[in-house]
Amino acid sequence: MADVAIKRAVSLPGAAVRERLRTLDDSAVVTAFLGGEERAFQELVERYQTRLLNFVYRTIGDREKAEDLVQEVFIRVHRHLHRFDRSKKFSTWIYTIASNLAKNELRNRSRNPLVLFQTIKKNWQDEERPLQFEDSNSRPDDMYRKRHLRELVEESVERLPEHHKQVFILRELEGKSYEEIAEITACNLGTVKSRLNRARNSFAEIIAPALD
Amino acid sequence: MTPACSSSRAWQPGSCVTCGNPFRDAAHPRILEPRLHGRVRLCGSYVGFFSPMDCRAFRNQHVAYVDDFLPGEAVVAMQRHLLECERCAAHDAKIRRSLLLFRNLPPVETSPDFYSRLSARIESERAAPKQPMFAARGPGIGMFMGVAASVVTVGYLAAASLHWTAPRGDVVLAPVVATEPAVVAPSVENQALVASVSAGMPVWPMVLFAEQAPMRFAQVQFTRASWKR
């Protein structure tokens, strides 16, 4: 069934191909790409770019660097897709690549104080920037409160230990199952549950005083 | 042992499984789970969940409880514990509240030129000539082994050219005629000097001479004494 859909997608031109690819699942899109359909890669990028960006951004806390890393993820996917074991889930594979890159980035950052300084400087510039009103109907105090709350949540996530943070984000933001998280982070199921429990407790403890 | 049912009323769909009050009751906000409808009953074969749960068991199962992975009976036991234990109820509320905040963070969007930049990078990678594996990855194990083998070979050749590897023969000396050395009779002065040095005393008492000195030396001493006389 999927093969028929892929053949149809390949034989159709332009927008019709994109429409057809949109109806396929990840595995079928990967098959189409390996069959020579270049637009299948664009479809994969469209499906995962925002999710990966959020995952990497919440993990490392730097928006620009996160986008660079997501680009790197897709380049590696493009380069090594022929080696992907199609009996497994594509999303798990791509998240594993992103997770490893984010971990490397955090490791490099801990060794290089300059990067830390750049992150602090970026945040300071954000503070200096005037408030941006996304919704003209919102009141300024509401906007300020929301922004303050967002920053509070982001800072609280930042304070979690790295291995807790990844499990926490994969579960709470990306909605991954315990089994998928275990595969992405190369841990066993018990460790994932334990880390998730600790991460939730720590996060609640950190943010609770600010909410009261 | 089957614990007694706390209520004599038959369970009615749409009511709380513990007190029988209707769902949506403000006093029981945690028992509004729709999945309980028609599945959980107070009486009959579902009485097992009435066994009391302690706080440790509650905390251990809390991850699965928040994620909705517990079976129906365990869910009811957790809910019952929440009604009974204020501390655990506060803990549950704190966790859920913080998770709600985190899950509602606004998503970050990629920049508009994300795909065009990505395409450009992929194209430039395609256009670049493929480099040999060792250049792309740096020195690997194969390269290391090759270098090590060449170093060993060069070292062996150098050692062979300088004859370092030739086996060492036994030292051969010219034949000599062995003769027995003539025995020189010890002089009296020499023996006396040796005796005085080892004892640290300029003159040995006669008794020590008699006990410790070799018999030959003693004889020499006696001879000397007789000469002086």
pLDDT in tens, B173-193: 777 777 777 777 655 555 555
Amino acid at B125: E
| Structure-token match 């740096």, residue found | B138
pLDDT in tens, B118-148: 999 888 888 876 655 545 556 678 888 889 9
Mean pLDDT across chain A: 82
Task: Tell me whether residues A49 and B66 touch, CB distance under 8 A.
Answer: no
Task: Tell me whether residues A71 and B107 touch, CB distance under 8 A.
Answer: no
Decide if pLDDT at A54 tops 90.
yes
What 3-state DSSP class applies to B22? strand
CB pairs A-B closer than 8 Å: 79
Q: Is A31 left (phi over 0), alpha (psi -120 to 50) or beta?
A: alpha
Q: What's the whole-number mean pLDDT along residues A130-136?
A: 45
pLDDT class of B226 with cuts at 50, 70, 90: low
ipTM: 0.76
Decide if pLDDT at B96 tops 60.
yes
Q: Is B128 exposed, middle or buried (0-12, 13-18, 19+ CB in 10 A)?
A: exposed
Task: Tell me whether residues B62 and A53 touch, CB distance under 8 A.
Answer: no
Gap between the Cα atoms of A103 and A87, Å rounded: 26
Q: Please tell me what DSSP assigns to residue B30.
A: G
C-beta neighbour count of A61 within 10 angstroms: 19
pLDDT class of B106 with cuts at 50, 70, 90: confident
The whole-angstrom distance between B67's CA and the closest CA on chain A is 9
The answer to whether A138 contacts chain B (CB < 8 Å) is no
Q: What is the pLDDT of residue A87?
A: 87
pLDDT in tens, A78-108: 999 988 888 889 999 999 999 999 999 988 8
Question: Which chain A residues contact residue B101 at CB under 8 A?
Answer: 149, 153, 207, 211
Decide if pLDDT at A175 tops 70.
yes
B117, closest residue in chain A (CA to CA): A71
| Cβ proximity of A204 and B94 under 8 Å | yes
